Amino acid sequence: MTAPETPSGPAAEVPSVFIARNETQARDWALVLLSRSVESTLGQDPVSGRWFLLVPAALRDRGAAELRAYHQENRRWSWRTTVPETDTELPFHWAALAWVLANVFAFQFGRSFAERGWFDSARFARGEWWRAITAVWLHNDVAHLASNAIYGSLVLGLALGRYGAGIGLLGGLLGGVAGNLLGFWVRHGRDYTGLGSSGMVMAGLGMLGAYSVRWWRHGRAATRFVLPGLFAGGFLFLQLGTSPGSDVVAHLGGFVAGMVYGSIATWMPDRLRVACNRPAGLLFLLLSGVAWALALGH
């Protein structure tokens, strides 16, 4: 659109011109006025290239007041940037399917194999610490495996897409371990056994919820974006992690650990997080490999 010619009517009918710094601001203003039922016309001067809004003379004061209120409300929002995640709204990392296949592979060895790795509180207390890790790879039956495979492939796939495969898998494993340790602490003095990767899945859910913490890098004004992400993660945990018959304590431990781990990881500079992905992936494999070596050799 181009700037109109100077009208020849009475001065009182000449529309007011609101000159913006750039096209983005002009379009923001147009949306603000539209939402407040203030008529405006978006245009660009063909000579200077400057963007502007034309507002009818009768609505000039009201339009100016609405724009002042808009800027007053957003005066502390001191940054404007393109959100990098919008290029791929929900990035999914296919390494999550490799994790699913590894769990299916472990399930094929049967109960005698599972007994070597499940979390036994009495044996753990006697020094078999690796059971807090190996139990994350085991499942009780096909239904248990299928449930964690379905939810885990989705949740961990999205978490790995956000953080990277190495950091995501390590965070999930540490979250699963944290769930087992919390269960051991809460049930202190009672013998029990536990197994399953649901703690790791809940850790992935916690990491997804914590991803919004990255916007606090830009100041406290970003709270409006951070809190909804945290609340959404908490709501999904209540829906998925507290079902009857499930180990809610282990789920809670995994979710909280994932939240903390994800908050730290997302706060890291992007370059540092990318650089840490490969070492984190190697540590994930090392912890799992050493734990299983001890479990099978004990």
Give dist(CA 226, CA 247) in Å, integer: 29
* Domain residue spans of the chain: 11-75, 87-297
Cut 0.75: pTM above it = no
Q: Which of 102, 97, 174 is nearest to 138 (CA)?
A: 102
Q: Say if residues 103 and 145 touch (Cβ distance below 8 Å).
A: yes
- What pLDDT is recorded for position 7? 44
Calculated CA dihedral for residues 277, 162, 152, 123, nearest 10 degrees: 40
Give dist(CA 97, CA 161) in Å, integer: 12
Q: Say if residues 119 and 135 touch (Cβ distance below 8 Å).
A: yes
Give dist(CA 171, CA 164) in Å, integer: 11
CATH dotted code for 87-297: 1.20.1540.10
Distance of CA 24 to the CA centre of its chain: 28
- What pLDDT is recorded for position 87? 42
Alpha helices in the chain, H assignment, sequence order: 23-35, 60-73, 95-107, 110-117, 121-125, 131-134, 142-163, 165-186, 198-210, 223-240, 248-267, 270-297
Give dist(CA 127, CA 133) in Å, integer: 13
Running along the chain, 298 residues long, what does each successive block of 10 average in pLDDT? 43 79 88 88 88 90 88 59 48 93 94 93 95 96 95 95 95 97 90 92 96 84 85 93 90 97 94 94 97 94
What phi, psi does 42 have (nearest 5°)? -85, 135
The DSSP call for residue 2 is B
Q: How many CB atoms lie within 10 A of CB 92?
A: 17
Q: Which two tokens stand for residue 262?
A: 């994800």
Q: How many CB atoms lie within 10 A of CB 198?
A: 26
What phi, psi does 179 have (nearest 5°)? -65, -45
Q: Which of 98, 126, 116, 140 is nearest to 292 (CA)?
A: 116
pLDDT, one tens digit per residue, over 219-253 is 777 788 889 989 999 999 999 999 888 899 999 99
- Residue recorded with tokens 């965070």: 171
Q: Do domains 11-75 and 87-297 have the same CATH topology?
A: no
Topology, domain 11-75: Alpha-Beta Plaits (3.30.70)
